Every structure is written in C-alpha cells, then in structure tokens.
Amino acid sequence: MSDKKIKSALISVFYKDGLDDIVKLLAKLNVKIYSTGGTYDFIEGLGIKAEKVEDLTSYPSILGGRVKTLHPLVFGGILGRRDNEKDIEQMKEYGIPEIDMVIVDLYPFEETVKNNAEHQAIIEKIDIGGISLIRAAAKNYKDVLIVSNKDQYPKILDLLKSKGGSTSEEDRKLFAAEAFMTSSGYDTHIFNYFNGEAGIVAFRESIDSVYPLRYGENPHQKGVFFGNPDELFDKLHGKELSYNNLLDVDAAVSLIDEFEETTVVIIKHNNACGVASRDDITEAWKSALACDPVSAFGGVIITNAKINEEAAEEIDKLFFEIIIAPEYAEGALTTLERKKNRIILRRKESPKSNVMFRSLLDGVLWQERDRSSEQIFDMSPVTPKVPNNSQVEDLVFANIIVKHSKSNAIVLAKDKQLCASGIGQTSRVDALKQAIAKAQSFGFELEGAVMASDAYFPFPDCVEIAHKAGIKAVVQPGGSVRDNESIEYCTNNGIAMVFTGVRHFKH
C-alpha cells in the first residue's frame, strides 16, 4: 500500500515546546493548518499562515474554552473515510474539509492532582475536546495521522522529514496505538481521582514511565519496570538498577522508613540480615554488619542518616551492590565511588502509595499497604512480669523488623540490634530454631534478648525454646485459641510477654 501525503493538519496543544520545528516543516510542505486559541497565536507568531477552527465552524470558543473543536465540520473531516463513497458524498454536501493529521495533547490532569490543587481546578483540567480528537483520529488511522503527546514530536519530525510529508498505514497504526495508550491512561487517572471518594471496587492503573531492565528475575526472563526511579532517587554513581535490585531497594526503603533514630539496614533477597540503631552512623553500621557479615556480602545498604567520611571508610571494606542515604559528605562519596559498578543512591522526599498489588492466577491481588507500626502504648502485657524500659525499646525494634520479614518469621534482638531472624519457614518453630542457631553462630549472647513473632503461637513450644535460649521478653499479636498455654509458660518462667493484636504476615 502506497504512502499517503498529508495535505491538512489540525493543531491544538497545551505544550508548545518543540512544536515550532514541526509547524515550520508542515508549512514548507504546503500543508494547510487549522488551529485554535493559543496554538493559533503561537503559529501566527512564527510567521506561518493558519486558519482558525472557529472560522471553519462559524462558532467561537465558548463556555470558557470548554467547547472549541466539538463540531461536525471538525470531526467529520477527521472521521470521514476516504475510500467510502457515501462518506465522500456527505463531506462534499456539508462542506467538510479532509483533515489528514491531528496534533493534540491533553490538559495536565495528573500533574494538577499531584500539585494538590483545589477540586474545581482539577475538574477544569479534564480534557474533553482533546481526548475526543485523539480517539477520532486514532480510530480513522487508515486515513489520519494522530500525534497525541509532546514526547512524540522528535519522532514525528524525523518521520515527516524522511518521507517528505507522507506516512504509511503502518506508521499511522503505530501512532494510533500510542494515542489509545494516552487516552486510556488519562481516563484511568481521572477515574482513580474520583474513586478516591467513591470507593468503587475496580482495579485501574496506568503507568507510562518505562525503566528498561537487562532481564527479569533471571537472565532467561524478560523484564521491565513500569515506574520512574528518578522520582525517588538521585543516582550518583554506578550501573543501572536490575529487577532484583529494585525488589531489594523497595524492601530497604519500606523498612528504614519505620525508624526515627539513626539506623542502618542491610537487605539481602528482600529480608533484613542486619539492622541496628545507634547515636552515631559509624557505630550503627558496625552493629548492623555484625548481625550477619556473611549474608551482608553483595547486599543493599540503607540508612536514614547522612553518611560521613568515617562511616564511608568502614562501609567501603565490604562488597555490596547498592547504598542508599538521604545525604553524603563529599569525602564519603569519593570513598564510596572507588568501585565502578557500585550503585549510590540519594533519596528524595516523595510520598509512598497507600496501596499495593501483585499479579497471580491471571488476575491481580490488591490491598492496602501494611501501615500499622505498633509502639509502646500498643503493647498490652499479658503476664505478671512486664518488660523493663530497655526491653520495651527492643520489643518495638524487633516488631518492626519482623513486620518486614517473610513469613513465617521470628526476630531476636538485643540493645536495638538484630541478633538474628528466622524467615520464610513453613513452621514457626523452625523459624525460631533457625534464628537461634544463626545468632549463636555469630557469637551473640541471647541471655536477656527479646523475641518478636509476625503471628501468634499456636502452641507453647516456641516460648519454651526461646526461654531455654535466654529470651526474657516476647512480643506477638496473640489470637490463638491456646494463647493461655503460652501465657502460662511465660508466667511460670519469668518471661515478660506482650500482645499487639496486629498480625504482620508477609508473603
């Protein structure tokens, strides 16, 4: 099929950056241009002749600009089928000009919502004419080329130059597909805004930002990240993030955000293998690394404090993939940049979505993010012996970590330092035994340590095993029909136990 020459174009855009080169080329190609409002003024300002849409339709822009292009003379020119005799006859009868190209974009609805604008200002950014033009031109891609996004300007400019103002049906179909991507995404953002209050049970998400990945979880799997890490981090050094890096970074950010004290977290395969809170960043790092220096190798490090030169020198002794901090001293950066591929990220202030979803069984699971983070006043003693102040701090600390550990999970902690965790086990007893064995293998003295569990103990076996290892205080949700057996064991053996009433399964 031969290419089609563009003879006329309708241009009506919000963003005009980069449009001038396209308009100049269209004029050079003797393309008749129709335009509206500010776009018309922009084109005339370039010294290029254009016809106002209101002169074509004999209707001015009305209702405060809400109605400009919604007219049969416009949409007939776009939707008219060039190979349909009846369409051609009607277009001649009603004086409808053919429109071969439409360049249009949409009011910035999503950006207006992000800027916390007032409701009415947001409503006014719901585009009507633009979205209608996009859909019409895309539907009639056999005859019309649609440019629906300013990001397409360089591509369309190259296309018009290379083909002398002509396009193939293949070209037009590709741009039509991108146009429907634009329109569907736009409507999704509008729906989600309204549904914030309406509460309609429906799943709609639209993310246009694409972060390319070399591969997925494994080299034989394709992968891509739909999102924009640049909105969350400044990448100061190193290679690009991988699929597995992104999973670990998400786990790291979620955990570190629970802490207010200076804290260092080391993540490996989405779980914490080192966590410590200290007054000093260097001491926090040393204590976090001591939790499990073997697993820390090749891990992801994150802190909520500025990394100074002293801390950087200590951290640099370990091979790791990524380090994340809110700020770095200049000398610290120089030290950390010694390894060419080491990824150094600086966090930006950014809100985190309150919802999360994952695909499975050809469907999507949706849920609210687990925002519950139990503090001292959320912990109810259920034994005569109550935890002392130091133990309470450790219980809060351990409970935060277990919340972010793969179930079944047990966390042992002492002096605001992770001693060890048992994670991803099919039995809570196995998780506890794993944690105890790991802590002992790295020389931790568990006498006086505390234990946190992500869910209740169905039997008293866990508190018995923990007691024999030296655990003196326990935090768990409670809720088992046999809670009294665990409570009785703790009572008889001088162990303090508190219930939170909140389970933290993580799968």
Which residues on adjacent β-strands are paired with residue 358?
365
Q: What is the largest CA-CA distance in the chain?
A: 97
Residue 231 has a CB neighbour count (10 Å cut-off) of 9
Q: Which of 24, 139, 286, 385 is catalytic?
A: 139
Q: Are 242 and 250 in contact (CB under 8 A)?
A: no
For the chain, how far is it from start to end, CA to CA, in angstroms? 54
- Closest residue by Cα to residue 384 from 478, 456, 487: 487
Phi-psi region of 443 (alpha: psi -120 to 50; beta: other; left: phi over 0): left
**In residues, how long is the chain?**
507
Question: Does the annotation mark 92 as catalytic?
Answer: no
**Which residue in this structure is represented by tokens 């790291």?**
252
Question: What is the 8-class DSSP label of residue 35?
Answer: E
**Which residue in this structure is represented by tokens 């979505």?**
353
For residue 223 the two structure tokens come to 């992968």
- Closest residue by Cα to residue 143 from 295, 43, 8, 339: 8
CA distances from 303 to 159, 311, 396 (A): 48, 11, 18
> Rounded CA gap, 372 and 369, in Å?
9
> Rounded CA gap, 308 and 282, in Å?
8
Beta-strand runs (E) in 434-490 = 450-453, 473-476
> Given CA atoms 17, 56, 33, 170 in this order, what sign does their dihedral have?
positive
CA distances from 229 to 111, 164, 235, 301, 397 (A): 18, 39, 9, 17, 29
For residue 413 the two structure tokens come to 């902690």
Beta-strand runs (E) in 355-472 = 355-360, 363-368, 380-381, 410-413, 418-422, 450-453
Question: Does the annotation mark 139 as catalytic?
Answer: yes
For residue 121 the two structure tokens come to 């200002």
* Helix (H) or strand (E) run with residue 497 in it: strand 496-499
Q: Which of 52, 150, 163, 269 is catalytic?
A: 269
Which residues form the catalytic set? 139, 269
